[in-house]
Amino acid sequence: MTLDDRLQNVAIVGAAGKMGSGIGVMIAQEMAKLKLKAENKNKVYRTNLIDISETALDGLRGYMITQLTKVAEKSTVHLRKLYEERQDLIENADIIRTFVDNASSVLNFTTDLNAVKDAHLVFEAIVENDKVKTKIYRKMKKLCSPDTMFLTNTSSIPISYLDEQAGLDGRLIGYHFYNPPVVQRLVEVIAADNTVEELRKIGDELGKRLRKKLVSSCDISGFIGNGHFIRDGLYALSEVERLKSTFRYPGAIYVVNRITQDFLLRPMGIFQLIDYVGVDVFQCILRVMRTHLDDTSLRSRFVDKLVKQHVLGGQYADGSQKDGFLKYERNRPAGIYNCSKKDYFMLNDKWKKKVDAKIGSLPDGFAPWKALLINPKKEDALQSHFDKLKKMDTLGSRLAVDFLKKTKAIGEQLVNDGVAASTKNVNAVLTNGFYWLYGPINNYV
């Protein structure tokens, strides 16, 4: 069965979540384009959007229309070619509206898992819990055809484990989109030893159609992306523990977050990133990796305490940031959580100025991540920044250089452990999936 054939009927389980909704947008637009081809006009296409909550599905309807409209607005030239036989479509607005209508017509919103039974491809994007995923896959195996192929958006659970537990006989592949899927270019692809060749080829072809950057990872828990991110986060937490005697917890979190953003030239600080992913999600991935790697060091009692106090991070439906390690006002850090007081220590200019003085200044000529992102001489600017940083003798420079060394060591260990086939793959995941300006395995240290 070709990919075109399989795209006639697709199911997305967990469709109302952050990842599932984005996958739904991309599949719906591909279906709409296929439907416009002359040879397909009499075929029925269906994207089954399955979730457990009717309320969440109601919100998904609006999200799908909004996102499909944005997709159409960005591709009007291509859509004109697809609709060239429609003489009635003159204005761009007419073409956009028609495409959104066509894409919306393939959508089926339901809470009934039985909707997977006729699907040729099933995307799963539910909670990152191996027991829950296994239960769902066992149900779907009974409902689906023996030739149905499954793509899981797991970011840490070994594919071989899920496949074996559900008895899918190689019809499962890891297809880890990064958040948000509609925008993010990266897809981490994880095949188990027994993943069937047809599914491997489907993954490759689908990635090309969706214009994604595909990076392969070995089937080892955490894969490349979380294999690095989780350990990077744990190192940051260990630095907080080390610095708390000088700065107390809120100050130590502020210092490490600022070092990772400003001094290391990342799009956001490490604790902002954990908040973005979700503190509870971070904890869940730690648990999965700790179990499957049998590594007791993959744990943070600080994170456990935050989750127990319901400090979870994540995003609201409109995309705004929920409070986690940090409190946010207009999506910017305005406070730092204090576990002992179960409340946020609110930042003020006087306090920040005092802590910043202890950190020390940034290198001369400092330019933030956003400016360097569009700098045509980015590589030269990065080299200059880190050369200057290594020559400085301040708390900030020492912390930054140590962090740079640690993040490099984590990347190298992923290659040594066989998680990544090459240095190139590690760097590709961090630069494409996390928007780093440079890969962790570099010559800056």
Tokens 């909707």 belong to which residue?
115
Residue 240 has pLDDT above 80, yes or no: yes
Q: Are residues 192 and 247 in the same domain?
A: no
Q: Are residues 201 and 236 in the same domain?
A: no
Q: Are residues 338 and 375 in the same domain?
A: yes
443 assigned to some structural domain: no
What pairs with residue 333 in β-bridges? 328
284 assigned to some structural domain: yes
Structure tokens at 372: 């360097």
439 assigned to some structural domain: no
What does the pLDDT average to over 13-42?
A: 92
What's the confidence (pLDDT) of residue 357?
A: 97
Answer with the one of 166, 189, 217 that is the final residue of a domain: 217
Q: Are residues 251 and 359 in the same domain?
A: yes
Number of domains forming the structure of the chain:
2
CATH assignment at residue 48? 3.40.50.720
Q: Are residues 104 and 236 in the same domain?
A: no
What's the confidence (pLDDT) of residue 90?
A: 84
Answer with the one of 217, 245, 280 that is the final residue of a domain: 217
Packing angle of the helix pair 270-277, 279-293 (nearest 10 deg): 90
444 assigned to some structural domain: no
Of 19, 292, 17, 277, give the one whose Cα is nearest residue 131: 292
Q: Are residues 126 and 270 in the same domain?
A: no
Residue 312 has pLDDT above 80, yes or no: yes
User: pLDDT tens across 318-376, in order?
Assistant: 789 999 999 999 889 999 999 999 999 999 999 999 999 999 999 999 999 999 999 99
What's the confidence (pLDDT) of residue 85?
A: 83
Q: Are residues 180 and 266 in the same domain?
A: no
Identify whether 181 is preceded by a cis peptide bond (ω within 30 of 0): no
312 assigned to some structural domain: yes
Of 404, 401, 423, 403, give the one whose Cα is nearest residue 413: 423
What pairs with residue 321 in β-bridges? 315
**Predicted structure pTM score:** 0.94
Q: Are residues 260 and 119 in the same domain?
A: no
Tell me what the pLDDT averaged over the chain comes to: 96
In terms of residue numbers, what domain contains 172? 3-217
What's the confidence (pLDDT) of residue 304?
A: 97
What's the confidence (pLDDT) of residue 87?
A: 85
Work out the percent of the chain whose per-residue pLDDT is above 90. 90
442 assigned to some structural domain: no
- CA–CA–CA angle 270, 273, 279 (5° rounding): 105
Q: Are residues 147 and 230 in the same domain?
A: no
- CA–CA–CA angle 289, 210, 136 (5° rounding): 45
Answer with the one of 175, 193, 217 that is the final residue of a domain: 217
Tokens 């200057």 belong to which residue?
388
What does the pLDDT average to over 188-216?
A: 97
- CA–CA separation, 161 and 222 (whole Å): 13
How many Cα atoms within 13 Å fall on the side-chain side of residue 392? Answer: 22
